[in-house]
């Protein structure tokens, strides 16, 4: 289930930040792919101007990026235990990142932490994983768009002689093309929207499995992906009036999100049973007006999200162009690169249109590294001479266990995708 809130930024008080835009701010704020500031004096002045987020603002800033999705495949006991376990782990690792950020005032972004800990190799690895996670966001948007279009136009068929595409795929392509002009914008603050989420007219009388042990590896990736917001930690830390409250902000934010996830997950499971889908809009009764509103909201929402995910990436190439190049030429090049990236996203989403498996794979392959493995490794390396032996052992254990879980989750999600393709090819033949 996706809930996103994008609000126009005030020039003097940047209180609320966008999920995808902020993740890429980690990479693009200062014209360098690793987020380094060009000039310490200017950076200090900029920090003084932007470090105005109160405790409440910081909680909101951290909460919105986290709210994305949650898995129900393990049963209600799995929801309870896993959510609380992930809550604890994520809070701990955000605290570790806070200590890493505090150690050096020059650290402005997640890749900066990697650079401080492991040099250019750490910076490159961190940046690569951030790009992988951010790139998978528009892929998941497109898959969700395709799924919801299938529900909106259920039973309706378009007969187009020059294409053999299904109605849903054709409409998905049209929708993505309609969204393409937003990639040519440089000022993304003009794009604002609210996702509509509601449901009704369903009796809460479905049974929920107590525990499904066999789904732990695959669902773990979904949980970590859902709670992943660690790459924006440096931005949030530097924006706070009182950075000493960073740990409290983390605990409050993850508590709010855990309650939100748990409530939505249990209500959705009780309403729709073990067959509840990852996108709850696909379970809602099709005849209700509120369902149609929610479906169209989930169809239209990705049309504005593409720009926030892709434009900053395309802007990296824009900054590498000669300064003598005209603004119009830059606009054309940036827009063309963004359009090509969006076409690649579309092809990938239509080739692998399986929302849960894609999110699970992203969580297991990327999010576990960014949220658990890397923070432990960065902290251990940066504080090697200061941390106690038990703390060092604990960090190593977390790295090993998380790596094993990530590998198992990646294998599980990959096997699930392969199984789907095998069944699909068998049915086609």
Are the C-beta atoms of residues 115 and 398 closer than 8 Å to each other?
no
Six-digit token pair at 86?
């992930």
Contact in structure between 334 and 310 (CB atoms under 8 Å): no
Strand-pairing partners, residue 194, are: 5
Residue where the block lists tokens 């890397």: 374
CA dihedral 387, 391, 395, 398 (to 10 degrees): -170
Tell me phi and psi for residue 10, to 5 degrees: -80, 140
Rounded Cα gap, residues 413 and 277, in angstroms: 16
Give the position of tokens 């209700």.
Answer: 288
Q: How many CB atoms lie within 10 A of CB 18?
A: 24
154-158 long-range contacts, Cβ below 8 Å, gap at least 24?
Answer: 154/286
pLDDT at 209: 59
CATH number for the domain whose boundaries are 55-191+202-417: 1.20.1730.10
Tell me the two tokens of residue 366.
């990327």
pTM score over 0.85: no
Question: How many Å separate Cα 64 from the centre of its chain?
Answer: 11
Q: Residue 119 has what pLDDT?
A: 93
Specify burial of residue 245 (Cβ count, 10 A radius: 0-12, 13-18, 19+): middle
The answer to whether the beta carbons of residues 68 and 74 sit under 8 Å apart is no
Domain ranges for the chain: 55-191+202-417
- How far is it, in rounded angstroms, from Cα 82 to Cα 211? 11
Nearest of 186, 224, 180 to residue 70 by alpha carbon = 224
Smallest Cα–Cα separation from 17: which of 55, 49, 60?
60
Going from the C-alpha of 163 to that of each of 159, 160, 167, 218, 424, the distances in angstroms are: 9, 6, 10, 36, 21
Question: Which has the closest alpha carbon to 14: 64, 58, 67?
Answer: 58
Taking the C-alpha atoms of residue 127 and residue 206, their distance in angstroms, rounded to an integer, is 44
pLDDT confidence of residue 51: 60
Per-residue pLDDT of the chain (429 residues; tens, 9 = 90+): 433 333 333 333 333 333 344 444 444 444 344 344 444 444 444 444 456 666 565 555 544 444 444 444 444 444 544 555 666 677 788 888 888 988 888 888 888 999 999 999 999 999 899 888 878 878 888 888 888 787 777 767 777 667 777 888 888 888 888 888 877 776 655 554 444 444 444 444 555 555 565 566 666 666 777 777 677 778 777 777 887 887 787 788 778 877 777 777 677 666 666 666 666 666 666 677 777 777 777 777 777 777 777 776 776 677 677 878 888 888 888 888 888 888 988 998 888 888 777 877 887 888 888 888 999 999 999 999 898 999 899 989 989 988 998 888 888 888 888 888 888 777 766
């Amino acid at each position: 289930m996706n809930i996103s809130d994008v609000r126009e930024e005030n020039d003097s008080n940047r209180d609320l930040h966008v999920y995808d835009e902020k993740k890429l701010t980690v990479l693009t704020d200062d014209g360098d792919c690793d987020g380094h500031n060009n000039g310490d004096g200017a950076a200090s002045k900029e920090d003084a101007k932007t470090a105005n987020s109160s405790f409440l603002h910081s909680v909101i800033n951290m909460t919105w990026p986290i709210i994305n999705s949650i898995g129900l495949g393990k049963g209600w006991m799995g929801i309870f235990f896993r959510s609380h376990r992930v809550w604890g782990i994520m809070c701990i690792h955000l605290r570790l990142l806070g200590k890493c950020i505090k150690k050096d005032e020059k650290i402005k972004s997640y890749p900066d932490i990697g650079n401080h800990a492991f040099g250019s190799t750490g910076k490159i690895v961190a940046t690569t994983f951030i790009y992988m996670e951010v790139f998978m966001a528009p892929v998941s948007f497109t898959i969700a768009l395709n799924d919801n279009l299938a529900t909106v136009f259920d039973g309706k068929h378009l007969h187009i002689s020059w294409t053999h595409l299904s109605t849903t795929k054709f409409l998905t392509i049209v929708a993505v093309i309609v969204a393409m002009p937003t990639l040519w914008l440089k000022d993304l603050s003009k794009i604002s929207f609210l996702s509509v989420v509601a449901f009704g007219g369903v009796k809460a009388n479905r049974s929920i499995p107590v525990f499904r042990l066999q789904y732990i590896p695959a669902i773990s990736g979904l949980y970590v992906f859902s709670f992943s917001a660690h790459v924006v930690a440096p931005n949030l830390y530097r924006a706070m009036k009182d950075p000493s409250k960073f740990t409290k902000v983390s605990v409050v934010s993850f508590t709010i999100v855990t309650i939100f996830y748990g409530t939505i997950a249990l209500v959705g499971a009780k309403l729709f049973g073990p067959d509840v889908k990852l996108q709850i809009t696909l379970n809602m009764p099709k005849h209700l007006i509120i369902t149609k509103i929610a479906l169209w909201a989930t169809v239209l929402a990705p049309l504005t999200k593409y720009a926030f995910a892709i434009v900053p990436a395309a802007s990296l190439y824009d900054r590498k162009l000669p300064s003598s190049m005209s603004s119009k030429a830059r606009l054309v090049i940036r827009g063309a690169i963004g359009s090509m990236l969006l076409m690649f996203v579309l092809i990938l989403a239509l080739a692998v249109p399986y929302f849960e498996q894609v999110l699970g794979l992203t969580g297991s392959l990327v999010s576990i590294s960014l949220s658990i493995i890397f923070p432990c490794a960065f902290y251990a390396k940066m504080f090697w001479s200061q941390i106690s032996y038990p703390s060092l052992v604990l960090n190593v254990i977390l790295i090993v266990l998380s790596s094993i879980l990530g590998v198992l989750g990646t294998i599980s999600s990959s096997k699930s995708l392969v199984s789907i393709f095998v069944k699909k090819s068998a049915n086609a033949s």
